[in-house]
Amino acid sequence: MSRTLLLCFIHGFKGNDDTFREFPDDLKRVVTKQLPDHRVESIVYPKYETKGELAEATEAFLAWLKEQVMEVRKSTVEKPWPPKDREVCVILVAHSMGQASTTTPSHPPKH
């Protein structure tokens, strides 16, 4: 099954778009060679605010990621909506606090 793999890089606090340097492109090349039937794209989350609630950073990241996925779907899938298939897969590559801002629940359970 051919699909798009979206490699999404998110840096830690105080990082920026250049934190990963050439690594996103290098990884994209390696994955493309290993999975020649797939379309591989690489994106880097832009610099974000490092103050305030972690849940706010998570919400902002999720909104940005959804937008990126929809852009990929619009350019590669015949019916981009609703996204109930596995045409676009996201692989998160996070460094330091970038990991925390992608995995922290935006609506934590109440005890």
Length of the chain: 111
Q: What is the pLDDT of residue 65?
A: 92
Gap between the Cα atoms of 54 and 9, Å rounded:
18
The parts of the chain modelled with pLDDT lower than 50 are none
Position 14: which residue type?
A: K
Q: What is the pLDDT of residue 22?
A: 94
Q: What is the pLDDT of residue 32?
A: 97
Q: What is the pLDDT of residue 108?
A: 54
Question: Which residue, 103, 76, 64, 53, is CA-closest to 5?
Answer: 76
* First-last CA distance in the chain: 43
